[in-house]
């Protein structure tokens, strides 16, 4: 029996169209801004779009689209939802 | 509620809401043209206020309305947000409202209710407008307004500022008796209770949330209570995060209870984004857009500009004929009218440019520009948001620099401010237009590419790339520990509202004509004086010589003697030479000659030297100076300035003064030098020091001098 490994996944690793649920934040100051913008733990996000050159990215959250840099997305811990269409 | 509140005939309200919530459209719908833009005291944050009257229950109520900068929360993260927060939370503030009107984007309730909840918790009279309710309905979202109102304990109205629905209901609701929210939005009693008690003891009368909010402000200001708060285990970020989580819990319940299905992104926006943020298509569209902007500015603005030019020329000619001769008439026609013409002639260009910028902002496209440009801009130490000031810098560096306030990182903001004046602003446009028409042939190559338009576009691109280069260098030089972020909304695409576009154009033109116009007019008059008067025997002799020739001309013109008439052409030439000589001996000529040795390597003579000196006040004065200089050379024939310059010959070599090499060198000089008092003043204000504008003035001056010299040597 293999022990299930707990890996911390981050928002910047999502592929376009992939969905995830926000778990927590690793950066306090940034998390305050993200909370104001509606990124709350438990909220579902989808990677909407990646800018040319791979950065920034745009996520769909609570019905609107928010853009943020990859490094900022890396401070958001997520749990992937495995139902990629 | 006391009855007095209901019968008061004045009401002061404040509009507050997220960016992109349609707040400004609502403001325009409420106040119409009865509005003004100014500054909040001490800071350069736009303060829009207006008034309107409402007939309510047979009584006329006068409402003063202030449109606060867009904000996401009462915990400010930018200067704009801080101003909004101060107005709403400080009863001593001059703009403190009787009633706060919260404008929510109905298609984005979760984020809108976050701010709304904070304002409700302040416990002062407020109401909520669910704006863009038509868009929400169209995408299948139904909001139960009455239920939401009951749950929030404040009046809630549905409206669409764009379609002008719900506006009269809003007007009526604004006049209803004032009442505080029926109950708090969030139970925050668990958040930092000790600190709340501490603040309440120091500031009696504050409610629980007012005290909590105050605690954050006091903490950031370094208030004496700070030590006590710290001792009580208070950390602002911890308390804020806790509060935010509480809020979102409540918001989730409200949304579940009052709305149906979750919104999907409009398919149109999604499709359009596929093109506009495409790795190739996105940039092609952006470049095409810039190209169309400048082609149309060049072609469309030309017509009204030439009407203005010829109109003023005719007016000046008529005035100098009709009015009695003398220095007062000269002052009026050569100083004031020439200066006024130089101001008014910009209006078409500014209006057109701001027309485009307003379209880009209003449609939501600007956010995409930031999105596709951020990675590139970051490489140069700039922010995706820097694109907007940089592009606005193509109209005028002054508002562009003021718009950098939304960049929250100090370093990226400073760099943006420093390099924005390198972007070719509208004040350079008349200089460019004049010089390009002078030295670049009016020809089309390949059927569509107009040579003059291409040159103009080249200058804009040159400014842009030089701005990037300068930013890159500064990024290496300026050190900071502060961080930047790029967290922003990508709004859905909307058709621009013509009202909003027109208000923007009107405001920008008004500010330019009044603010820059004053400088131009004063400098024109001073110039006229410097160019018309001089000191010493040489000037007196030159003036007498000119008067003598003018007298001869008058005699010949009024005489019927054919022989005398034949001498006229020669006399005209003599007069031009005498006028030129007089100018050479005037104060202005002396000044120009004084700096001539320094600018000779760039291909400039002393007349251009005069223009460089006067352009230190504002670039566009170049044209006014040229008008005065060459107008002084030919007083009675007020020919369009361009033609006079084209005919100007070097007195020694006989070659045209405005050769291609000199023209290009001048274009480059004007592209790079910081010849704008208004910019310097704004940079001083925005950076709160004289150091930054000084650094900026020197680096741009050195850059301009060296580049122009290089161009003159190469092109010559």
Question: What would the pLDDT profile of A8-57 be if each residue is shown by its tens digit?
Answer: 789 999 999 899 999 889 988 889 889 888 888 888 899 999 998 888 99
Burial B660-697 (b: 16+ CB within 10 A, else e): ebbbbbbbbbbbbbbbbebbbebbbbbbeeeebbeebb
**B487 touching chain A per CB within 8 A:** yes
Query: How would DSSP label each residue in B116-129?
Result: HHHHHHTTS-EEEE
- In B, which residues are within 8 Å of A44 by CB distance? none
Residues in chain B: 716
Assign 3-state DSSP to chain A and report helix, strand, coil percentages, each to 5: 20, 40, 40
Helix (H, G, I), strand (E, B) or coil at B178: coil
How high is the pLDDT of residue B534?
A: 86
Q: How far apart are CA B585 and CA B534, in angstroms?
A: 6
B278 exposure class (CB count in 10 Å sphere: 0-12, 13-18, 19+): middle
Residue of B371, B378, B482 to mutate for A, most A C-beta atoms under 10 A: B371
pLDDT higher than 70, residue B398:
yes
Question: What would the pLDDT profile of B552-584 be if each residue is shown by its tens digit?
Answer: 888 888 888 888 778 887 887 777 677 777 877
- Higher-pLDDT residue of B618 and B137 is B137
Pick from B244, B282, B375: CB nearest A36: B244
Q: Name the pLDDT band for B629 (thresholds 50, 70, 90).
A: low
pLDDT higher than 80, residue B342:
no
Q: How far apart are CA B215 and CA B288, in angstroms?
A: 51
pLDDT higher than 60, residue B374:
yes
**B485 touching chain A per CB within 8 A:** yes
Backbone angles phi, psi at A82, to 5 degrees: -90, 70
ipTM: 0.89
Q: How far apart are CA B351 and CA B346, in angstroms?
A: 9
**B264 touching chain A per CB within 8 A:** yes
B162-181 average pLDDT score: 91
DSSP state of B484: -
Pick from A36, A49, A51: CB nearest B72: A36
Map out the domains of chain A as residue ranges: 9-81
Q: Name the pLDDT band for B49 (thresholds 50, 70, 90).
A: confident
Nearest CA in chain B to A38: B111
In sequence order, which residues have a C-beta less than 8 Å from that of residue B12 and are 6 or more positions away? B63, B64, B66, B95, B96, B97, B98, B99
Q: Name the pLDDT band for B268 (thresholds 50, 70, 90).
A: confident
Pick from A28, A41, A62: CB nearest B110: A62
**A40 touching chain B per CB within 8 A:** yes
Average pLDDT, chain B: 83
- In B, which residues are within 8 Å of A40 by CB distance? 244-245, 248
- Domains of chain B and any CATH numbers: 3-175 (3.40.50.300), 193-258 (no CATH), 275-474 (no CATH)
B485 vs A55: CB contact, 8 Å cut-off?
Answer: no
Q: Which residues partner with A57 through β-bridges?
A: A50, A68
Question: What would the pLDDT profile of B633-654 be if each residue is shown by its tens digit?
Answer: 333 333 466 777 777 777 677 7
Pick from B108, B114, B486: CB nearest A64: B108
What residues 294-323 of chain B have any CB closer than 8 A to a CB of chain A?
A: none
CB B180 within 8 A of CB B124: yes
CB B364 within 8 A of CB B358: no
Q: Name the pLDDT band for B2 (thresholds 50, 70, 90).
A: very low
**A24 touching chain B per CB within 8 A:** no
A13 exposure class (CB count in 10 Å sphere: 0-12, 13-18, 19+): middle
pLDDT higher than 50, residue B270:
yes
How high is the pLDDT of residue B482?
A: 64
Nearest CA in chain B to A71: B485
Pick from A31, A37, A54: CB nearest B241: A31
- In A, which residues are within 8 Å of B487 by CB distance? 30, 33-34, 37, 66-68, 72
B439-461 average pLDDT score: 84
Q: Which CATH number fits domain A9-81: 3.20.20.70, 2.30.30.90, 3.30.565.10, 1.10.287.70?
A: 2.30.30.90
**B94 touching chain A per CB within 8 A:** no
CB B500 within 8 A of CB B24: yes
How high is the pLDDT of residue B437?
A: 82
A52 vs B278: CB contact, 8 Å cut-off?
Answer: yes
A63 vs B265: CB contact, 8 Å cut-off?
Answer: yes
Token pair, residue A36, equals 């104001």
- Higher-pLDDT residue of B370 and B129 is B129
The sign of the dihedral angle between the CA atoms of B38, B42, B45, B50 is: negative
Nearest CA in chain A to B251: A38
Residue of B20, B71, B111 to mutate for A, most A C-beta atoms under 10 A: B111
How high is the pLDDT of residue B637?
A: 37
How high is the pLDDT of residue B632?
A: 39
């Amino acid at each position: 029996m293999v022990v299930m490994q707990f890996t911390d996944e981050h928002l910047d690793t999502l592929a376009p169209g992939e969905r995830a649920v926000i778990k927590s934040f690793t950066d306090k100051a940034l998390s305050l801004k993200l909370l104001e913008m509606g990124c709350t733990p438990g909220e579902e996000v989808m990677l909407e779009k990646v800018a040319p050159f791979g950065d920034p990215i745009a996520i769909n959250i609570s019905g609107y689209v928010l853009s943020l840099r990859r490094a900022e997305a890396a401070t958001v811990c997520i749990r992937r939802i495995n139902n990629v269409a | 509620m006391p009855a007095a509140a209901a019968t008061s005939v004045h009401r002061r309200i404040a509009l507050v809401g997220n960016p992109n919530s349609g707040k400004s459209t609502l403001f325009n719908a409420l106040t119409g043209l009865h509005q003004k833009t100014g500054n909040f005291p001490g800071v350069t944050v736009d303060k829009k206020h207006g008034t309107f009257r409402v007939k309510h229950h047979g009584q006329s109520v006068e409402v003063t309305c202030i449109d606060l900068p867009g904000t996401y929360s009462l915990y400010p993260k930018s200067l704009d947000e801080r101003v909004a927060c101060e107005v709403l939370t400080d009863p001593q503030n001059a703009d403190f409202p009787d009633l706060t009107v919260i404008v929510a984007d109905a298609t984005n309730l979760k984020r809108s209710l976050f701010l709304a909840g904070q304002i409700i918790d302040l416990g002062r009279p407020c109401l909520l407008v669910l704006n863009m309710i038509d868009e929400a309905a169209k995408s299948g979202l139904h909001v139960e307004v009455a239920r939401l109102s009951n749950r929030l304990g404040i009046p809630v109205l549905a409206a669409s500022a764009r379609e002008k629905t719900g506006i009269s209901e809003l007007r009526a609701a604004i006049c209803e008796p004032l009442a505080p929210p029926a109950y708090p939005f969030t139970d925050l009693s668990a958040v930092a209770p000790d600190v709340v008690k501490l603040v309440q003891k120091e500031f009696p009368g504050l409610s629980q949330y007012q005290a909590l909010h105050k605690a954050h402000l006091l903490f950031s200001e370094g208030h004496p209570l700070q030590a006590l708060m710290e001792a009580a285990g208070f950390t602002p970020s911890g308390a804020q995060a806790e509060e935010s989580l509480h809020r979102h819990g409540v918001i989730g319940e409200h949304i579940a209870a009052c709305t149906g299905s979750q919104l999907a992104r409009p398919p149109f926006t999604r499709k359009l984004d596929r093109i506009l943020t495409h790795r190739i298509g996105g940039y092609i569209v952006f470049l095409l857009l810039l190209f169309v902007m400048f082609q149309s500015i060049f072609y469309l603005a030309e017509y009204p500009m030439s009407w203005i030019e010829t109109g003023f020329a005719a007016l000046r000619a008529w005035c100098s004929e009709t009015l009695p001769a003398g220095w007062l008439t000269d002052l009026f026609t050569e100083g004031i009218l020439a200066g006024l013409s130089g101001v008014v002639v910009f209006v078409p260009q500014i209006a057109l440019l701001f027309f485009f910028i307003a379209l880009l902002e209003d449609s939501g496209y600007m956010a995409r520009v930031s999105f596709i440009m951020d990675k590139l801009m970051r490489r140069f130490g700039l922010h995706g948001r820097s694109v907007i000031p940089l592009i606005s810098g193509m109209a005028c560096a002054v508002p562009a620099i003021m718009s950098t306030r939304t960049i929250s990182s100090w370093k990226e903001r400073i760099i943006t401010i420093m390099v924005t004046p390198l972007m070719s602003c509208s004040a350079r446009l008349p200089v460019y237009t004049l010089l390009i028409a002078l030295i670049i042939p009016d020809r089309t190559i390949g059927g569509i590419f107009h040579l003059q338009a291409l040159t103009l576009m080249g200058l804009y691109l040159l400014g842009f790339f030089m701005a990037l280069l300068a930013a890159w260098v500064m990024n290496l030089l300026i050190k900071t520990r502060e961080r930047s972020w790029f967290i922003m909304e990508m709004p859905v695409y909307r058709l621009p509202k013509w009202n909003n576009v027109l208000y923007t154009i009107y405001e920008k033109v008004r500010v330019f004509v009044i603010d820059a116009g004053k400088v131009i007019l004063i400098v024109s008059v001073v110039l006229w004086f410097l160019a018309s008067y001089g000191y010493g025997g040489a000037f007196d002799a030159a003036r007498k010589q000119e008067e003598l020739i003018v007298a001869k001309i008058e005699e010949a013109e009024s005489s019927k003697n054919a022989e005398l008439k034949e001498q006229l052409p020669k006399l005209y030439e003599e007069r031009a030479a005498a006028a030129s000589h007089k100018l050479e001996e005037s104060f202005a000529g002396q000044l120009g000659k004084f700096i001539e040795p320094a600018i000779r390597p760039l291909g400039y003579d002393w007349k251009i030297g005069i223009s460089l000196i006067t352009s230190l006040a504002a670039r566009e004065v170049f044209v006014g100076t040229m008008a005065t200089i060459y107008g002084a050379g030919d007083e009675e024939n007020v020919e369009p300035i361009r033609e006079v310059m084209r005919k100007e010959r070097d007195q020694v070599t006989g070659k045209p003064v405005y050769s291609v090499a000199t023209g290009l060198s001048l274009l480059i000089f004007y592209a790079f030098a910081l010849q704008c008092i208004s910019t310097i003043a704004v940079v001083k204000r925005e950076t709160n020091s004289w150091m930054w504008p000084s650094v900026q003035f020197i680096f741009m001056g050195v850059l301009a001098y060296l580049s122009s010299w290089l161009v003159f040597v190469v092109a010559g």
